[in-house]
Every structure is written in structure tokens, then in C-alpha cells.
Homo-oligomer: A and B are copies of this chain.
Amino acid sequence: MKIDSFITWEPDLTDLSKERKSKPREIGCTMVMDKGLGLTAFEDLCQLSGEYIDFLKLGFGTAAITPQPILQKKLNHAQKHYIHLYPGGTFFEIAWMQKYFSKYINHLCKLGFSWVEISDGTISISDSDRSSCIQYARSEGLQVLTEVGKKKSGSVLSVSEVLKIYEQDLQAGASFVIMEGRETGKNIGMFDREGKINTTYLSELQKVLTPSLVIWEAPQKDQQVELFERFGVQTNLGNIAPHDVLSVESLRRGLRSDTLSWWT
């Protein structure tokens, strides 16, 4: 072993990492699910790994039961770190069902949100209403993420259904379309009961979707690795647990065993 032949620390490490853009990014985004971080934990997360988080979702309808002073501070803190904080789609769905959608949008604007999620994971909504919602949110100054897929266990949309909604949503003004994976990544969409990806289904999606416009909800490590290997390290991933942000970023950069082979 020739100790003397080693070169410097920094250039090599960044060799693989240089593909990673710094924020604000439009590709290689990581969306994290906050299902109840306390304020200190939230700030702690931003301080440690804010550079690796693009979107932060307040899961389910938790935004509605978060004390407003804490919500306000989370918003301020996220902004400071260039993280897009937004309420989960379920909150939109409740607003829609209750017929106060425009109030919902206006309330989000007033609180200081700049992104909203439009989805129909639990409710039914017509294509034209869905597009109107996206357009209305845009007209009020919000950017829009939509989500495709039903939340009921075992639900899978056909590739043509996914494609139809995806195209409509983008045309109506959505910036990203999220593929439903829920909190667990199991028994939903392209994931089986253990979380294994249905690769045939994914391959068909791959033929018709533009990867940079999709955020894949993929909470499990093996799912993340498979998506990175298929679509590259700039794949947008969602529903990442707060404690997994550094793990996902390590995977992206070949800094974890599962992707170390990328260096060779």
C-alpha cells in the first residue's frame, strides 16, 4: 500500500456529488413528510439538512390541528431555508368536500404558504373541477403540486389513467405530479404488500412520463435505490421521513453501501 500516492480529500468526494445542484433546484428534489415535528425538531432538521430538503409536507390534515403560532414559525423557518412548506392533499380534499375550497386557498395565502397540493386520494372529483382548482390556486399566486392515485389499500390506477390525469394537471398549471405511495410505501400503486416495486408497471410509466415533472413517494430505502438506478440521482423523491433525509442524500451521492458501486 503506497500511503504517499493519495490525493486530496475534497475534490474526490465532490466528484460524484457535483451532479447535485444547490437550492433552489428544479430536479433532484427531496420532499419530506412532517407528521408532527415539534418546533425545535423542525428547526433542528432545517439546520442539519435544510440544503437537502426542497419540499416539506404537513402530512394528512395535521396543519389544521397544529397550533397556529407553531405553524407560523414553521412557515417562517422553512422560508429562511428555501424549503417549500405545504399542507397535505387530504386537507384540500376536506376543504373541497366541505365546499370551502376558495376560502382554503385564500387562507393558505394569508398564512404565507406558496405551494398547495391538489389530490383526490380519498374523495371523487371530476376532471374539470380538478383543473379548475389548479387554475384557481395558480390565479391566487400559489404553485401547485398534484397527486395521482387512490389511498385505499391495494389501489392501482392503469397507466393510461395516470397519464391522463398527469397531462391534464400539467396543462392546468401544476408544477409537479406526485405518485401516491402513502406513508408506508406498501400495498399501494406500484408497491406490493412488502413495498417491492412492480417493475413492469414502472417501466410502462417510464415510457410516458417526464421524470423531472414527477415526484415519487418512496419512503423505503430499496424503493429509493431502485428509482435512482432507473431515473438517475436527480429523481424527485417524496414522503421521506425526517430522520431519513441524510440517508437519501447519501444514496444520491454514492455515500451509502447500496449506491457505492456508482463510483466504480
Which residue numbers of A lie inside 8 Å of B, CB to CB? Answer: 1, 3-9, 12-13, 15, 35-41, 43-45, 47-49, 51-52, 59-62, 64-67, 70, 90-91, 93-95, 97-104, 107, 121-123, 128-129, 132-133, 136, 151, 243-247, 249-250, 253-258, 260-261, 263-264
**Distance A91 CA – B257 CA, assembled complex (angstroms):** 9
Please state if B36 and A257 are interface contacts (CB–CB under 8 Å).
Answer: no
Q: How far is the CB of A241 from chain B (nearest CB, A)?
A: 9
15 A-B residue contacts at CB 8 Å? A1-B101, A3-B136, A7-B103, A9-B103, A36-B244, A37-B243, A39-B47, A48-B66, A52-B65, A60-B247, A61-B255, A66-B246, A94-B254, A94-B255, A123-B260
Q: How far is the CB of A73 from chain B (nearest CB, A)?
A: 11
Please state if A35 and B94 are interface contacts (CB–CB under 8 Å).
Answer: no
Please state if A100 and B35 are interface contacts (CB–CB under 8 Å).
Answer: no
- Copies of the chain in the assembly: 3
Please state if B70 and A47 are interface contacts (CB–CB under 8 Å).
Answer: yes
Please state if B247 and A62 are interface contacts (CB–CB under 8 Å).
Answer: yes
Please state if A64 and B264 are interface contacts (CB–CB under 8 Å).
Answer: no
